[in-house]
């Protein structure tokens, strides 16, 4: 986070300059509400971000008007309106390119064992602001006059890079336990450091996250992971116990390190891998020498999740070997299953679950490449198994090297450089991106005289394996190989003889 100027006046001028493109809109809608006898203020994230010189995608406003009164004021002015959440007092609107969310002053709180907040509408701005999550989000600009309202010193906290709550943290987090995760997210996103009393409340109330829906927890975790510095937020989650409730596999990586330091700190290693993977994400244009399908524009959620979770199978597979060694045999397979289970519990979509677990499963595949020459068949299988995840697998594998031994690090990097060069050579020679047998399923069926089904599928897989091992055969050679394979299959009365030459 860039530190803003130190004076309130300079900060306010900076914020107003940043809001200049929307000031006519804000003034206009402020006058409409004022003429109708209602208060209106720009509040929360857009105000905070204006002071930081950041852009907010939406304009969040709060008002004394009730939802039906909001709709009446917007009628004939907004291009469209919709119910974002009428039960929570929120009406959405669009005017030209701008999107607004207008919410009635409110105070909401969770019942002790409820997943949903109980909503009560309020009647003044100050009472609304005190129920906001953090002081930096409890600043407002009254419209249309642009009067800055900051009853809880959010501006001073923003300038100091400090995260506090308007009321006591216990009350704030009791109102909505997800705010504890939001504190970690703001550390990752904005560089704000939670105050000691905030951290203490998070530690004492971490178990309250259990009443929050998995979908809301997932969405907050995603925002954290896609931030500029997710490590800062993840460390807060682990240190306060939030991760024990949300992502227990992460703190479980803090394996005790024996006196001889026979293995790395897996937790620290995983956070380093995450940061290194982020550093390898591409900008919009990618690299000039890079194939389009291998680009990974950042921030990339799948890559970041895979980097964070790639070693979560280690605690379950750790073995102390004779002679003092430590092994984690098959931790990539165990980790893939664990990643799949955790991401499903957090209600991630099927494609994300599948992609992340596959990357965890494949992250060790490269090991051994530098020790012995891989055949072209092995390279083809590496690419085929990775499929559309190859670009992410490249970055995950490179990021997994956290050794301080410069010579070893250089050797691993050079080996992977060599593998990527071979992949590109084979791609150019064989269009490796779409490796298929030289005969398609219809042709196989014609040659063998069999209908679609499991037998035809076995024949297809055989020709695919031959294609991966030997490269392109051509149709005639593939037909001969198919017939050779067919002749070796056990006889079956239900399978017809293949057609003659």
- Which tokens hold the place of 179? 């705010």
Give, in degrees to the nearest 5, the angle at Cα 356 between 351 and 357. Answer: 100
Averaged pLDDT for residues 175-183:
95
Tokens 């000691």: give the residue: 196
pLDDT higher than 90, residue 31: yes
**Model confidence over 432-471: pLDDT tens digits?**
556 788 888 899 999 998 888 888 989 998 998 888 888 8
Question: Strand, coil or helix: what is 103?
Answer: strand
Tell me how far apart the alpha carbons of residues 459 and 465 are, in angstroms, rounded to a whole number. 10
Tell me how far apart the alpha carbons of residues 114 and 117 are, in angstroms, rounded to a whole number. 7
Beta-bridged to residue 149, according to DSSP, are 140
Tell me how far apart the alpha carbons of residues 64 and 128 are, in angstroms, rounded to a whole number. 10
Averaged pLDDT for residues 105-131:
75
**Model confidence over 353-409: pLDDT tens digits?**
999 999 999 998 888 776 667 888 888 888 889 989 999 999 999 999 887 778 888
Averaged pLDDT for residues 77-95:
89
Q: What is the pLDDT of residue 113?
A: 62
The domain spans of the chain are 1-160, 276-285+292-434, 441-487
- Which tokens hold the place of 337? 């299953």
Q: What is the pLDDT of residue 285?
A: 61
pLDDT higher than 80, residue 42: yes
Q: How many residues does the structure list for the chain? A: 501
- What is the band of 262 on the pLDDT scale with cuts at 50, 70, 90? very low
Q: Pick left, alpha or beta for residue 153 (phi over 0 → left; psi -120 to 50 → alpha; otherwise beta).
A: left
Question: Strand, coil or helix: what is 194?
Answer: strand
- Which tokens hold the place of 61? 């406003």
Q: What is the pLDDT of residue 9?
A: 67
Tell me how far apart the alpha carbons of residues 419 and 372 are, in angstroms, rounded to a whole number. 12
Tell me how far apart the alpha carbons of residues 438 and 444 are, in angstroms, rounded to a whole number. 10
C-alpha distance across the termini of the chain, in Å:
73
* Mean pLDDT computed over every residue of the chain: 87
pLDDT higher than 80, residue 72: yes
User: What number of other Cβ atoms are within 10 A of residue 272's Cβ?
Assistant: 18
Averaged pLDDT for residues 255-282:
77
- Contacts of residue 447, Cβ cutoff 8 Å, sequence gap at least 6: 439, 479, 482, 483, 498, 499
Q: Which long-range contacts (CB under 8 A, 24 or more apart) does 477-481 make?
A: 477/438, 478/437, 478/438, 478/439, 479/439, 479/447
Q: Of all residues in the chain, what percent are helix, strand and coil, respectively (each to 5)?
A: 55, 10, 35
> Chain-centre distance of CA 470, in angstroms?
39
Averaged pLDDT for residues 44-58:
87
Tell me how far apart the alpha carbons of residues 417 and 421 are, in angstroms, rounded to a whole number. 6
**Model confidence over 209-228: pLDDT tens digits?**
999 999 999 999 999 999 99
Burial degree of 461 (CB within 10 A; 0-12, 13-18, 19+): exposed
Tell me how far apart the alpha carbons of residues 137 and 141 are, in angstroms, rounded to a whole number. 12
pLDDT higher than 70, residue 191: yes
- What is the band of 77 on the pLDDT scale with cuts at 50, 70, 90? very high
CATH number for 1-160 (one of 3.60.20.10, 3.30.460.10, 2.170.190.11, 2.120.10.30): it is 3.30.460.10
The arrangement of strands across the sheet holding 90-95 comes to 80-85, 90-95, 98-104, 59-63, 40-43, 140-143, 147-149
Residue 378 C-beta-side C-alpha neighbours within 13 Å = 11
Smallest Cα–Cα separation from 203: which of 172, 165, 239, 230? Answer: 239
Tell me how far apart the alpha carbons of residues 203 and 241 are, in angstroms, rounded to a whole number. 6
> Chain-centre distance of CA 168, in angstroms?
31
Averaged pLDDT for residues 482-497:
72
Residue 267 C-beta-side C-alpha neighbours within 13 Å = 17
pLDDT higher than 90, residue 179: yes
H-helix or E-strand containing 401?
A: none
CA-based max dimension of the chain? 91
Outline where 346-388 has alpha helix (H): 350-362, 376-386
Given a contact cutoff of 8 angstroms between Cβ atoms, the answer to whether 349 and 224 are in contact is: no
Please give the model's pTM, rounded to 2 decimal places: 0.80
């Amino acid at each position: 986070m860039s530190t803003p100027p130190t004076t309130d006046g300079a900060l306010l001028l900076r914020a107003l300059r940043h809001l200049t493109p929307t000031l006519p809109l804000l003034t206009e809608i402020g006058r409409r509400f004022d003429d109708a006898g209602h208060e209106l203020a720009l509040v929360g994230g857009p105000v905070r971000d204006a002071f930081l010189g950041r852009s907010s995608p939406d304009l969040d406003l709060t008002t004394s008007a009730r939802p039906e009164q909001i709709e009446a004021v917007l009628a004939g002015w907004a291009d469209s309106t919709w119910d974002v959440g009428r039960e929570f007092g929120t009406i959405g609107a669009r005017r030209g390119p701008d999107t607004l969310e207008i919410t009635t002053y409110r105070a909401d709180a969770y019942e002790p064992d409820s997943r949903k907040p109980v909503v009560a509408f309020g009647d003044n701005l100050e009472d609304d602001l005190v129920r906001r999550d953090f002081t930096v989000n409890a600043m407002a600009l009254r419209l249309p006059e642009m009067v800055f309202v900051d009853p809880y010193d959010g501006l001073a906290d923003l300038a100091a890079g400090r995260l506090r709550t308007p009321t006591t943290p216990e009350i704030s987090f009791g109102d909505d336990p997800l705010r504890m995760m939001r504190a970690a997210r703001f550390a990752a996103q904005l560089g704000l450091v939670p105050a000691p009393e905030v951290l203490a409340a998070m530690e004492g109330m971490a178990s309250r996250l259990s009443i929050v829906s998995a979908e809301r927890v997932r969405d907050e975790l995603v925002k954290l992971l896609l931030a500029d510095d997710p490590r800062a937020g993840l460390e807060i989650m682990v240190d306060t116990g939030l991760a024990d409730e949300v992502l227990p596999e992460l703190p479980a990586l803090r394996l005790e390190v024996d006196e001889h330091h026979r293995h790395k700190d897996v937790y620290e290693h995983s956070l380093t891998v995450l940061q290194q993977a982020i550093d390898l994400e591409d900008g919009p244009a990618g690299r000039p020498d890079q194939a389009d399908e291998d680009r990974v524009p950042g921030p990339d959620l799948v890559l970041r999740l895979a980097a964070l979770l790639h070693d979560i199978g280690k605690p379950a597979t750790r073995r102390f070997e004779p002679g003092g060694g430590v092994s984690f045999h098959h931790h990539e397979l165990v980790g893939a299953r664990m990643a799949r289970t955790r991401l499903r519990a957090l209600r991630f979509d099927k494609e994300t679950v599948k992609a992340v677990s596959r990357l965890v499963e494949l992250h060790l595949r490269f090991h051994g490449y530098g020790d012995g020459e891989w055949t072209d068949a092995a390279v083809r299988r590496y690419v085929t198994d990775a499929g559309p995840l190859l670009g992410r697998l490249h970055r995950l594998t490179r990021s997994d090297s956290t050794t301080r031994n410069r010579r070893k690090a250089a050797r691993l990097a050079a080996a992977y450089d060599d593998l990527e060069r071979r992949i590109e050579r084979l791609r150019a020679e064989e269009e490796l991106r779409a490796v298929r047998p030289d005969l398609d399923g219809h042709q196989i069926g014609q040659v063998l005289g069999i209908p679609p089904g499991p037998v035809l599928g076995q024949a297809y897989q055989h020709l695919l394996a031959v294609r991966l091992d030997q490269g392109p055969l051509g149709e005639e050679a593939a037909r001969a190989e198919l017939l050779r394979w067919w002749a070796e299959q056990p006889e079956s009365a239900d399978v017809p003889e293949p057609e003659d030459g």
